[in-house]
Amino acid sequence: MNCPHCGKEMEQGRVFVSPGGALPVALIVWHAETEFEKRDILEPVKHIPIGIADTKDGYYKDAYYCRPCRRVFGEFPTIE
């Protein structure tokens, strides 16, 4: 896969989310970019985010790293 920023070939890998006991260390959530312009202090409560589905081993496949840009791009299944 080529980097959408610089166009160079990226290294394929996985993204890992480490659990901390019974709760995840990090909650990965996606919000629409258009909603960030409207956000205020109550934004997390007013808008329902799209949650990222958990994996059995904590790894997400189809992740790519661009060394020149120092960016990771990934594909994540969502919670229904």
Does pLDDT of 40 surpass 90? no
pTM over 0.75: no
Asked whether residue 1 is domain-assigned, the answer is no
What is the amino acid identity at position 57? D
Asked whether residue 44 is domain-assigned, the answer is yes
Instruction: State how far the Cα of 52 lies from the Cα of 12, in Å rounded to an integer.
Output: 20
Res 21: pLDDT? 56
How far is Cα of residue 56 from the mean position of the Cα atoms in its chain? 17
Res 2: pLDDT? 95
Asked whether residue 6 is domain-assigned, the answer is no
Q: What is the mean pLDDT of the chain?
A: 76
Does pLDDT of 68 surpass 90? yes
Asked whether residue 2 is domain-assigned, the answer is no
Distances (CA, A) of 30 to 1, 39, 68: 22, 14, 25
Instruction: State how far the Cα of 77 lies from the Cα of 32, in Å rounded to an integer.
Output: 16
Give residue 15's domain range: 11-74
Number of domains in the chain: 1
